[in-house]
Amino acid sequence: MNTASRTAVVTGGSRGIGRAVASRLAAAGQDVAVVYASNTKEAEAAVGEVEAAGARGIALRADVADEVSIAAAFDEVEQRLGPIDVVVNAAGVMALRPTTELELAELDQLLRTNVRGTFVVVREAARRVRAGGAIVAFSTTVTRTHLPSYGAYAATKGAVEAMVPILAKELAGRDVTVNAVAPGPTATELFFEGKTQEVIDRIAGMSPMKRLGTPQDIAEAVSFLAGPGRWVNGQVVFVNGGIA
């Protein structure tokens, strides 16, 4: 598929996987709006990478869980870059703690960003993405591996997995695909936070590839779903190097 003259919105696009996705979509010829929560410097750097790939880029600050904020961001994308073809919701937060130790305030934040935030973004995307477009949400391989301390986080991503096939069916006849990518352990700041090297090495060894994934590994899968992968719809695609 020729992705030239297409516009993508990537939430959580200032760092980690979201930033790699923004750069990869730009390399495929798509203009990219980087939506970020707070770090303006990193968002501007992400836009610089988009522009270095030959595409137009803008940075927009918005709260994914705030429907007014997201609607305003989408309005600005349409005004500055044109009609929206692709929306990737890579924004997310993680709190790792055994169920008996997790504070309810932490659970509330997980639910607000990962569940409400995903719903707000994909709902707005469903209202705006034009024919031939794609919506990509994010889950996690931990919904299958069931690792201790990931209970609340995995629960929020399970909610995302429930949304995706339903929205795909609701958009029947629109020629818009809806999928989720479920990364395995990936070398990002979010993954490394609070982990010892011993834990990192043990988790990396879970994959038959015997390494952590990279943000670029995940971005390749997103780019496929956002471009040529038109016959993949309503699916959760596990991108994890073979972790069962």
What positions carry a catalytic annotation?
153
- Give the angle subtended at the CA of 37 by the CAs of 98 and 194, to the nearest 5°: 30
- Give the angle subtended at the CA of 152 by the CAs of 210 and 159, to the nearest 5°: 95
SS3 assignment for the chain: CCCCCEEEEEECCCCHHHHHHHHHHHHCCEEEEEEECCCHHHHHHHHHHHHHCCCCEEEEECCCCCHHHHHHHHHHHHHHCCCCCEEEECCCCCCCCCCCCCCHHHHHHHHHHHHHHHHHHHHHHHHHCCCCCEEEEECCCHHHHCCCCCHHHHHHHHHHHHHHHHHHHHCCCCCCEEEEEEECCECCHHHHCCCCHHHHHHHHCCCCCCCCECHHHHHHHHHHHHCCCCCCCCCEEEECCCCC
Task: List, in order, residues 6 or more apart from 159 with CB less than 8 Å away.
Answer: 114, 115, 118
